[in-house]
Structure 1
Amino acid sequence: MSRLASATAATAHQKQWFRSIQERVAAGEPLALVNADAPQEVLKAMDIPYVVNQWWASVVSAKRQADASLQVLRDRGFPDHSRQYDAISLGSTSLPPETAPWGGLPEPSIVIAETSGDAARKVFDLWAERPGVDFFPFERSSAVTAPARWWELVPHRWEEAYGSERLDLMVAEIEELVSFLEERTGRTLDVGRLRRVMDLVNEQAEWNRRTRDLLAATRPTPVAVNDTIPGVMVPQWHRGTEWAVDAARRLYEEVAELASSGAALCPDERVRLMWIGRGLWFDLDLYRRFQESHGAVFVWSMYLAIAADGYPRHGDDPVRALAARFAGFTDQLYTPPWSGEWYVKEARAHGVDGVVHLVADDVPASSFTTRALEDAGIPVLEIRADNADPRASDPDALTAAITGFIDGRLS
């Protein structure tokens, strides 16, 4: 089966967009490097060019330049075995022009990230030591309560889901970020423009929900996970634009057409698998490696699912609604019982037979996720690797482990 046209178009758009970013920075505009867990919608509303740190790390890894980027850090006396997903972009700026992916990342003047731990904070402190680079850190707050079925609350009842104190903190920090950006760029935030950005993000999330629900209900699956990942994630990095909404709609329409026509990624589908964790950027072929040998298909990744459940936020106050989008983002993916209940819900909806759980060193509470799934009667294979660092895992060993899991527990 050929690759999804919507995924191919999204990737082509991303390359064209990145060239435009390089041109804008070369012409003197500021560039922000922003972590995925920071409110990019503010930058979109202020028309400040930005690149998402994890997206760029995934490009570097997919282009087989992760080790070279980490070597830069080693040569400077920094550790290369911690927070690689955060640190690869830092090292990549020193790659030779002839090997740097897509012509290389322009030098940012602003970096924005949530300080999720000492090591992550130090990565961004190193950015701030570079001439002309300023760092804005967000705090990470903790949940006091865990509402049942949070995915039903957060679109409209987010105050109830997260609590006013957490939202108050995030609102105050967003307001500080706006002042920080206005001072450094000379641009101002139009609240009406931010409201429009939020409306577009909600519309995009609705298309993603339709796609996720359709794939959950379709047997056999019509598409590959390593196609839906770029198909949903490239538009995610352009949230708040008409293009991103249209891209999400095109993905849904293409999947719907394939499903209605009876298309099957693996006509002999016998085993449905769920991949929990970040994408394995240096070995995306892994997701299709077991189709012929075992009739085993990965039908779920967190990217489409969290785009459906984790992003919609409706409300009259766009700043507070934006705070609600990010105040509890980590809870949804990694904090028990928020995360475990959600993964079980998704596993059951997609009818998976087993779960492959990528456990990274910097991901908290992974054992609770595994326990929640196993307690629900869903077998789990834990594999330990860094998703962006190819040194951290042996492709043959990964293949052997998943093969043994299918043969030993799912057959």
Structure 2
Amino acid sequence: MPLPLYLLALAVFVMGTSEFMLAGLLPDIASDLDVTVGTAGTLTSAFAVGMIVGAPLAAALARDWPRRSSLLGCVLAFAAAHVVGVATTSFPVLFATRVVAALANAGFLAVALTAAATLVPPERKGRALAVLLSGTTVATIAGVPGGTVFGTLLGWRATFWAVAALCLPAAIGILIGLPARRGRRDAVDGPALRAELAQLRSPRLLLVMLLGALVNAATFASFTFLAPVVTGTAGLGELWVSVVLVLFGAGSFVGVTVAGRLSDRRPSQVIAVGGPLLLTGWPALAVLADQPVALLALVFVQGALSFALGGTLITRILYEATGAPTMAGSYATTALNVGAAVGPLVAATSLGTTAGDLGPLWVSGLLVAVALLVAFPLRTVVAAGRNSGVLR
């Protein structure tokens, strides 16, 4: 894999740390800013909404911009949003900074996904995306738990400062590692923006985007509210939240690595096997959450299955959107973040029910069930074509 791909993964690591770290910081943020944990959980949805809006907008604006400048600008804007977030004592202002950070993240990821796919031969898209997304999984293994420990010891604001500081080496890596050339230098005769947007009328593309949104909604519904499960239902100390996040991250790394090797050639097998297992895992986690050993094991498994399916569906979106070379990355980003926005919002409503802290886990199982119910009767729609089959 080319060096620029790993430099892009470094920036994804920083941004992924920020996106996921709230799972371990929500109780501290809620207490500091005098809001409920459920309200603090909307910060995750705010980030996702910013990415939903920002991904297509940034991708469209950056069509004729130098790719390196676009990526660098996004990283610097991301850092600035975190500095403002550290300084505020107002939850609405913090909420706004998460939206701004998400817009920057969305712009970066939309361009980076497309760039990653063009850095390798067409038949290796899946592996290239696995390297890029490894930045996210490493964030869940190291960055997020480290941020949680940092936040537990020094407060959540210290974690935000650390993220802002980590943007500097990521920016330097992009500046040095990527060539200064125009984003469409290799696609001057490519389709017009209207033609790329017309790809969204494809039933196969829309279906895969919907499946990606549902699976990611299930992932974020539970991941956002893991901390109360660990400290409440399981009765473990606060530092165990970091252990659980490490296990989830380790599982996600395994999952995205497997998906990177199989999503180009055998996507249907990944989903046909992983989907039912993922569906079974969330209710099992809800039932066994009061048993620490079972909790730790199942968190690892669910991380692996969630990212294996999610990574595979990202690859399928890019395959289905080959007629939109500059916008395909934004379609994948939008789909996944629709899920990331909806999941925590739905999960938050379950916290006030009799299920309590376990409500989000049941919500995740329901969302995966919906995804499988949608996919099964429409599997023939996405089965045609050499690289279009999702559920053969």
- Same fold by TM-score greater than 0.5: no
Greater relative contact order, per chain length (Cα 8 Å cut-off, separation 6+): 2
Q: Which has the larger radius of gyration?
A: 1
Q: TM-score, normalised by structure 1?
A: 0.28
